[in-house]
């Protein structure tokens, strides 16, 4: 398992280094300027992009035939799939951590000029991108293992659209439930926990489906 994880991270290392440089540059500019209009845009980019890079590792493996070699290793196929899901989760979490870091720095420099409802707004910004990142993986991997590398790009596009659609649907459902009324902290955190549980359940269910598909497919 450790070797599989190392290989996964090595496969995306070059692109991740470039993206980290971009995020650090953008984060520093954001922290210095303190522009409130940049908050939402900046907060929802790192985690989803890191998730896309994690999924793209599979396409790179297919081009190098590493995906076929992995099947000859003394590891179970479900462990191969599990390593990909773990790598994806780490990438998504790293994106959330970057957002949290630069939001904290910006607040320390400029004060709390961003969050009308205080801490819970910050939580929304940090976790929002992470939820989208996990949902991208939940949709992308079963499609990839089912269709194969020939339709990897299609799987990626559908994953991004599907994840965004799920997030929009959950947001609309939450708005319907509260019916335009002011949301109390208790209601907000209960809703957040429900969304997180749904996201984790979808991610774990996606892993089970992917493992089942990958076990049966010929490589």
Q: What is the pLDDT of residues 90-108, one digit of tens each?
A: 999 999 998 888 888 888 8
pTM of the model: 0.84
pLDDT of residue 115: 62
**Burial profile 59-93: b = 16 or more Cβ within 10 angstroms, e = fewer:** bbbbeeeebeebeeeeeebeebbbbbbbbbbebbe
pLDDT of residue 109: 80
Q: Which two tokens stand for residue 133?
A: 């990142």
pLDDT of residue 67: 59
Note the residue count of the chain: 219
pLDDT of residue 114: 64
Beta-carbon count within 10 A of 14 CB: 11
Residues with pLDDT less than 50, the chain: none
What is the SS3 assignment for 72?
coil
C-alpha–C-alpha distance, residues 64 and 72, integer Å: 15
pLDDT of residue 137: 93
pLDDT of residue 18: 84
pLDDT of residue 38: 77
Tell me the pLDDT of the chain averaged across its residues. 80
């Amino acid at each position: 398992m450790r070797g599989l994880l190392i290989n996964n991270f090595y496969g995306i290392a070059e692109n991740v280094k470039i993206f980290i440089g971009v995020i650090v540059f953008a984060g520093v500019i954001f922290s210095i300027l303190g522009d409130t209009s940049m908050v939402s845009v900046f907060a929802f980019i790192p985690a989803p992009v890191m998730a896309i890079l994690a999924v793209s590792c599979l396409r790179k493996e297919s081009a190098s035939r590493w995906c076929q070699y992995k099947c000859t290793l003394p590891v179970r196929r479900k462990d191969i799939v599990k390593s990909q899901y773990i790598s994806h989760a780490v990438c998504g979490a790293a994106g959330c951590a970057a957002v949290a870091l630069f939001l904290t720095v910006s607040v320390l420099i400029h004060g709390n000029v961003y969050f009308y409802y205080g801490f819970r707004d910050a939580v929304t910004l940090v976790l929002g991108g992470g939820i989208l990142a996990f949902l991208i993986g939940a949709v992308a991997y079963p499609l990839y293992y089912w269709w194969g590398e020939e339709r990897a790009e299609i799987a990626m596009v559908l994953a991004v659209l599907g994840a965004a659609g799920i997030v929009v649907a959950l947001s609309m459902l939450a708005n319907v439930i509260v019916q335009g009324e002011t949301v109390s902290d208790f209601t907000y955190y209960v809703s957040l926990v429900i969304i997180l549980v749904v996201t984790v359940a979808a991610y774990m269910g996606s892993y089970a489906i992917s493992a089942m598909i990958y076990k049966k497919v010929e490589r």
